[in-house]
Structure 1
Amino acid sequence: MWGSRKTKQESVTCIACGCSLPRSEAREYDKYGDRWERAGKEFEHLCKACDHDLCHQPRDELEGLLVEIDAGSHSQAEFLSWYSALVEERYGTIEE
């Protein structure tokens, strides 16, 4: 009744360490933090070891915040300073 679900073994590359591995052994990574919403998305992949090393806390609004402070085009010190100030301005201090 139903066709076979077996597909050819697809190989993917871990975006963190660069190793190549079978898709079946990889973890999907969605930079927007919502891998359950699949419509129109192309997922990147991580090996299990690199996925395990990630923080799996929600990342709501993170992408927009990084774009706003032009992440990747400033020194690490400048980025951290701007990021900290913006997060504190919007969400308060860690102690709150």
Structure 2
Amino acid sequence: MWRSRTNRGGKTVVCIACGSSLSRADAREYDKAGNRWERHGKEFEHLCKGCYRDLCHHPRNELESLLGDIEEHGLSQEEFLRRYLAEVEARYGHLGEQEEHGEHEERER
């Protein structure tokens, strides 16, 4: 007889956001590539339901590659954030400029 898919063998997983241990059945899958529907050859990380609800569910185009480009072992939080902001500005321009440009376009419509 086949086992129920919801059981998942009673496996315990760890929430990558808060570190709590919970059963796989009570967790939500997190795919850092952003496409959890393409499942072949992937190992998923997991989030508890509370942390999953707190996530921003907007598309995150290029975010993982950006983070990978600035990530370095032993980097302080301050240095990581400095590199992140610098890389975002280098790739996409200054946020204030984008907001002003968007407002200007709205006024022209």
Structure 1 or 2, whichever has the larger Rg, is 2
Q: Classify the secondary structure of the residue corresponding to 1:50.
A: helix
Q: Classify the secondary structure of the residue corresponding to 2:10.
A: coil
Residue equivalent to 1:26: 27
Structure 1 segments (4+ residues) deviating >4 Å: none
How many Å separate the matches in 2 of 1:18 and 1:79?
21
Structure 1 pair 52–11 and aligned structure 2 pair: CA distance change class (3 A): same
TM-score (norm 1): 0.78
How many Å separate the matches in 2 of 1:81 and 1:69?
10
TM-score (norm 2): 0.70
Pairing 1:37-52 to 2, within 5 Å after superposition: 37-52=38-53
Q: Percent identity?
A: 59
Structure 1 position 11, deviation (Å) = 2.4
Q: Larger relative CO (CA 8 A, sep 6+): 1 or 2?
A: 1
Q: Classify the secondary structure of the residue corresponding to 1:37.
A: coil
Is the CA contact 1:14–1:20 (under 8 Å) kept in the aligned structure 2? yes
Aligned length: 94
Q: Which has the higher helix share?
A: 2
RMSD: 2.0
5+ unaligned residues in a row in structure 1: which ranges? none
How many Å separate the matches in 2 of 1:18 and 1:80?
22
Residue equivalent to 1:80: 81
Structure 1 position 17, deviation (Å) = 2.2
Is 86-95 or 64-73 further displaced after alignment?
Answer: 64-73
Residue equivalent to 1:67: 68
Structure 1 pair 74–9 and aligned structure 2 pair: CA distance change class (3 A): closer
Is the CA contact 1:9–1:23 (under 8 Å) kept in the aligned structure 2? yes
How many Å separate the matches in 2 of 1:58 and 1:79?
22
Structure 1 position 18, deviation (Å) = 2.4
Q: Which amino acid aligns with 2:45?
A: E
